[in-house]
Structure 1
């Protein structure tokens, strides 16, 4: 369970959905096979894992960028809404979706033209707000701040609860897994019926109208609209849904 928190984003559109034949799976299992059987072969997920991936920087994170060989360049700075930071001599650099080690390597290379044998050390000082995306058949879909530990049912309630006609027993939880792959499992958010499922920063909850075949429409609608930090790795290449 992550206690770290995630990026700021707003969702302005109400999602469309279409009905398809219902399909079921055991909690924690990959949904790729089921979706492909419904004719959505382009919707693929890795097998579910509860392993916590290496921390990736997000907008709102406060970091220290230290240069031990040039202390006057050391800065404590927040990652901006666009995922970038601004540093003396080298200007802007992309920090979001980078590990601390990746950013250290990037900045060392950038300073190489300005300093002799530059050494850069990046430390996370304060994690930014944890946010999750609640979409589909809820009253107020969008990205929500998660104050402390929260489960899938609580997130749906925060989004105004499900609409009449929704299928709260078959909600998709989409999460970035180790290596940046996208994973999906089915969760039941009906009161006193489903097992509480703790959320992590960056999780996406999609409440369908009838079945999870509607995920294909969901992906089409959000393609290109995901905020920084919602990128996933597909076939080894990072891209949005």
Structure 2
């Protein structure tokens, strides 16, 4: 008679443990992920073609300076870094009215030498990584010195601007991509092609809190219009 009672107590205890078991935190405040290419924002080092429709003699090629400004004969020096082509055209048009009555300005990207992605977390050399042509998540991490020993390679965080300057987030299973050599479904989820301005964060095993990193670094570099939090952390009660 004691065995059924003991078995029942064990089952009830297991159910209680399952119900109280901690679960991973989920992202809050992010936009739904889309694969659409984000609007390009200029960066220091980019070479731009600035054209004046009514006064083509003022057309010129200009570099975005290290301080983020661009200078033309008609406009003088104006901020350019982190602006889209449409935003910079409006700024140059306003500034050029000092010498032109009705300026019509267009801006085109001639060479994106300033394109970078920001890589942080459990990597050996965190910071901006140049983005030269097509490049995936793994290549960017290698460009940042590779993984630290305690990196959670199967839950790399990728943050990208969505329309409206809001952030969107997805997890990337780089470990699965490495183990399969890029074959099968891991190709889609393990080495996502990056876009200029993307942010790659490699959390640490068991505890990889990115909120503190966002507060310390991301808010200073990327002026997202955001209210969000995300914790890639696991309680020790959850198996790996």
Q: How many residues of Structure 1 are paired with residues of Structure 2 in the alignment?
A: 196
Distance 1:173 1:102, change over 3 A: same
More helix by share: 2
The structure with the largest alpha-carbon Rg is 2
The equivalent residue for 1:184 is 169
Give 5+ residue unaligned stretches, structure 2.
Answer: 1-21, 181-185, 228-240
The equivalent residue for 2:226 is 234
Give 5+ residue unaligned stretches, structure 1.
Answer: 1-20, 26-30, 33-43, 236-241
- Match among 62, 84, 89 for residue 77 of structure 1: 62
Distance 1:126 1:177, change over 3 A: same
| RMSD value, Cα | 2.4
In 2, distance between residues paired with 1:154 and 1:55?
21
Cα shift readout 1:42-86 (whole Å, capped 9, x = no counterpart): xx3222111112222222221122223333422210111222111
List structure 1 runs of 4+ shifted beyond 6 angstroms. none
- Match among 148, 170, 189 for residue 155 of structure 2: 170
Question: What is the TM-score of this pair, normalised by structure 1?
Answer: 0.72
Distance 1:73 1:198, change over 3 A: same
Cα shift readout 1:142-177 (whole Å, capped 9, x = no counterpart): 221233322212222232222222211111111112
Question: What is the TM-score of this pair, normalised by structure 2?
Answer: 0.72
Is 1:209 equivalent to 2:188 in the alignment? Answer: no
Q: Is the Cα contact below 8 Å between 1:170 and 1:212 reproduced in 2? A: no
For the residue of structure 1 that corresponds to 2:41, the secondary structure is coil
The equivalent residue for 1:3 is none
